[in-house]
Amino acid sequence: MIEQTITIINKLGLHARAAAKLVNTASQFESQIHISKGARQADAKSIMSIMMLAATQGTEIVCTLEGSDEIEAWQQVSALINNRFDEDE
């Protein structure tokens, strides 16, 4: 199991387009991937669940990954977040 904290750095946070990119990335993996913000937890493969977190720029989230491809999944998810969801700012 991997559990890492990462900060949302893109200007608009986890808005619809960014959430969709996160879900598309997470859905490529067999591992279970959960994102937590405070007491709220979301399945990273569910766009509605991710949107309900309302994670804005500067929000620290905790990513928990568990499964056979968790390392590759973490690399892809963290790269997406650190690359500002490939958005121009």
pLDDT digits (tens), the chain, 89 positions: 999 999 999 999 999 999 999 999 999 999 999 999 999 999 999 999 999 999 999 999 999 999 999 999 999 999 999 999 998 76
Q: What are the tokens at 71?
A: 């390392």
Q: Which CATH superfamily is domain 2-86 in?
A: HPr-like (3.30.1340.10)
Catalytic residues: 15
Do 87 and 10 form a contact (C-beta atoms < 8 A)?
Answer: yes
Q: List CB contacts of 38: < 8 A, sequence separation 6 or more.
A: none
